[in-house]
A and B are shown apart, each in its own frame.
Chain A
Amino acid sequence: MKKFIYLMSNFVSIFKTLGFIFFTTLVVLSFNVKAAEIKFICYQDSNECDTIAEMAKSWESSTGNKVNIETVGYEVIREQLENQLESDAAPDVARVTNLGGLNKFYLDLKPYVDSSYWETNYGATLPWYRKPSGDDGIYGWQTQLTVTGPYVNVTMFEDAGVDMPEEGASWDDWADALRKVKSELDLTAGLALDRTAHRWAGPAFSYGAKFHKDGVPILVDEGFRKFSEVFVGWHKEGLMPVEGWPAGSGTAYKNAAPLFLDGTVAMHMSGSWMLGNYDKNITDFQWKVVPIPCGPGGCGAMPGGSGVVAFKSTKHPDAAASFINFLSQTENAENFAAKTSNITAHQGLQKSGIDYKGVSPVVAEGLAIFAANAGKAADSTPQAYWFQGYNKNFAIYGIVPDYITKAITGEMSLDDALNAIDADVAAKIAE
């Protein structure tokens, strides 16, 4: 009993001490009002995060809030962010590419921004962030409108004495030209394509692939099959390198840019986000963007781009929304597009034009061609815009390379691979 009383008196004295300290601190600190500090996870293809960091200084000085920008690799956004969001370890703001897939985590900016301004200037891209139906929220600022399309090594074509096909040429015309360049210069391969259905889709649309019927993904139609046969054939004849699609296993994404940069291939099917990177890093050969090749289905290109979004879990929704709203303003969107050599998603600026001060002629020409590619795709292959907005497109991006690679390496026949694609897509999107 005595021991019990002794023990209790110890606990009482501890609690008294702690209680005194706690309440004193509360009183003192209640007068300490701190400005909001938001965490922004950003990835960049070239200098996008650096540009936003510069722009953020102006927002910080006008609001008194602070934004901590953490620049990370794209793999962090692609592979880790969603887990962070589910485990409450999320940042306040992030630059993301899986626009529809992360919808359930987004903070609706509508209560904090001028909705009419956003609908007028970003109305075409706002649906990419929303749920499939019944959602009119405003969730993110589209940092750029990207379009897929090919880059070519002009020096290689000149050295080989091969003329480049003109605008409106088909993928077959380009394949013929690339075969000649490969043969003349004894190259490893002629054409490389990033290992994802996002890049594959453009040529597939050109061959007539529709990718959906009434909003339901239906992948393997006649156009899809036809392009699959062509694509596998390009690999078997050596026009496409083994370091590309065959070098990946499963659903792994592989960027083919290193193959273009080191001169392994004469053409890289990529997108407008690589303009700044190539302008900075290619110093030993001439390169240019060419109009998207066409086919019986049209001139297919995939639109897209990344967006800056805020998350519901943020403890500073006002500050996060204010920051994104700041970035979306006309002058800031124009500044961002000009400094990063990207096509703006701001519809007002698309009409009035961006003065890409100081960009090289090849980048300026590239931007114009990519913008034209987007227009051609909207007219001739509108299924591209559906696919971009489909909230489970990220699952499909990996399934197509998984089985097409197996058909290329001979692990399964093309027929089996195409049947597997349909079956796997159906299973992966089933609820």
Chain B
Amino acid sequence: MFESFFNINYWYFILFVYLFIGFLLTREVAGFIPRLMSVIGWPIELSQRISGTKSLPYLFLFPNILIFGLFTFLPLFMNFGFSVTDGESINFSSRDYSGSDNLARIVLETQIDTGIENMENDKFKAAIADTFIFVIFQVPIMIVIALITAVVLNREIIGRAFWRAVYFYPVMLSPVVVAFLWTLILKRQGLLSQKLIEWNWIEEPIQWLTDPSWTMFWSVFVYTWAHLGFYMLILLAGLQSIPKDLYEAAEMDGTSNQRVFWKITIPLLMPILLVVTVLSLIKAFQAFEELFALQVGWVSLVSYIFETAGLRGQKTTFGLGIAAMASLLVAVLLILLSLLQFYLTRRQIKL
């Protein structure tokens, strides 16, 4: 009897009950539409009666806090829980407390459970090293290109709006679409190899994405191409906020363009440039979607966490705990970068 009660299509039933309660509780209002609105909004009216208008803003904030808490803070606490427990299951009731064992499994040279060489340590270090190389090249290259592009697109050029759209367009594409497009170009039978062979630049086609000599280059290239537009837009806004009379005064003094750029544009753009740099650093450390979809020949930090956690279907007893601990270590680094950004932003406000 109870089972059949809960097995019906209960959404219609719940709606009926909701409206019925509203009908009973709300005051009579003239007109069908006002009455309907009153019935639908009965929780608001009831809460006003109970708590008065002062508490109403918190009621409106509550759904957002609930969602934020569920999808941000709760996973954070769960991740911390995974990092100090062992087991394949994602249910804490099936996991055993292990303290700092997962940290030991990542950082020590000897595996604590088998007493032999710890491969996890090597994999984690390799992921950190490769990700650092990626970040060291990708961020400066992207900032420089974004800056140059923003400066050019800040001028009065023909089709300026069109070119701005062209540079921003990749930002709107899904990472999988970006990866698919570039795979068509970069795979061994792809456009790039065919053209280079046609031009006699290479003799045999190259698998650009997995060739150890080229995989990092193209990872940086594709990632920069996909994200450049976003930072260009921020820098463009920054350039437009620089007072025009400074440029006019410089022009009247006969200052060269180069000097104007280095002595006026860059110093006044510096706060935004610093914020953009820190933001792009944080994003670069978290690079995953495009690289995963491209199937590049190196493992980034997030790829390492993704794989170790058993999200590729190969769960192991300690994998989830190790992945959670690794993500906490990465989080510490990103928190430091965020604090740096916060400090720089405050300096900008004070200036």
- Using CB atoms and an 8 Å cutoff, list the residues of chain A in contact with chain B: 7, 10, 13-14, 17-18, 21, 25-26, 29-30, 32-34, 75, 78-79, 82-83, 86-87, 98, 101, 188, 242-243, 246-253, 315, 392, 394-395, 397-398, 409-411, 419-420, 422-424, 426-431
Whole-angstrom distance between the alpha carbons of A398 and B119 in the complex?
14
A423 and B114 contacting across the interface, CB-CB below 8 Å: yes
Contacts of A82 in B (CB 8 A): 310, 313, 315
Given A18-B17, A98-B313, residue A249 in contact with residue B295 (CB < 8 A): yes
Complex: chain A residue closest to B114, CB-CB: A426
Whether A14 pairs with B25 at a CB distance below 8 angstroms is yes
Is there an interface contact between B8 and A423, defined as CB atoms closer than 8 Å? no
CA of A188 to CA of B193, assembled, Å = 13
Q: How far is the CA of A214 from the CA of B211 in the complex (A)?
A: 41
How many angstroms from the CA of A342 to the CA of B126 in the assembled complex?
43
User: Which chain A positions have C-beta within 8 A of B21?
Assistant: 14, 17-18
Interface stretch of the complex, out of B66-74, B171-179, B224-232, B297-305: B297-305
By beta carbon, the residue of chain B nearest A37 is B7
**In the complex, chain A residues whose CB is within 8 Å of the CB of B157:** none
Given known contacts A14-B25, A409-B297, A251 and B4 CB-to-CB distance under 8 angstroms: no
With a cutoff of 8 Å between Cβ atoms, the chain A residues found around residue B275 in the complex are none
List B contacts of A430 (CB < 8 A): 113-114, 317-318
Check A248 against B17 for contact (C-beta < 8 Å).
Answer: no
Determine if B212 and A21 form an interchain contact, defined as CB atoms under 8 angstroms apart. Answer: no
Q: From B3, B209, B212, B295, give the contact of A252 (CB < 8 A).
A: B295
A244 to chain B, nearest CB (A): 10
Docked pose: A7 CA to B317 CA in angstroms? 54
Q: A243-B187, A247-B295, A427-B119 are in contact. Are A79 and B4 (CB under 8 A)?
A: no
Give the distance to chain B from A348, nearest Cβ to Cβ, in Å: 33
Check A249 against B299 for contact (C-beta < 8 Å): yes
B113 close to A247 (CB less than 8 A): no
Contact, CB under 8 Å: B207 / A428:
no
Shortest CB-to-CB span from A218 to chain B, Å, is: 13
29 A-B contacts (beta carbon < 8 Å): A7-B50, A10-B46, A13-B25, A18-B21, A30-B1, A32-B8, A34-B4, A78-B312, A78-B313, A82-B313, A87-B90, A242-B188, A243-B188, A243-B207, A247-B210, A251-B307, A251-B312, A252-B295, A253-B312, A395-B314, A398-B312, A398-B314, A410-B212, A420-B122, A426-B114, A427-B111, A428-B316, A428-B317, A430-B114
Is B120 part of the contact surface with A, judged by Cβ < 8 Å? yes
The chain B residue with its CB closest to the CB of A252 is B312
Residues of A near B20 (CB, < 8 A) are 17, 21
Choice from A30, A75, A243, A398 contacting B4 with Cβ under 8 Å: A30
**B119 lies within 8 A of A86 (CB):** no
B24 contact set on A, CB distance < 8 A:
13-14, 17
Are B118 and A423 within 8 A (Cβ)? yes
B152 at the interface (CB under 8 A from A): no
Does A246 contact B315, Cβ atoms closer than 8 Å? no
CA distance A21 to B69 in the complex (A): 33
**Binary contact readout B271-313 vs A (1 if CB under 8 angstroms, 0 otherwise):** 0000000000000000000000001111100011001001111
Report the minimum CB–CB distance from B76 to chain A (whole Å).
18
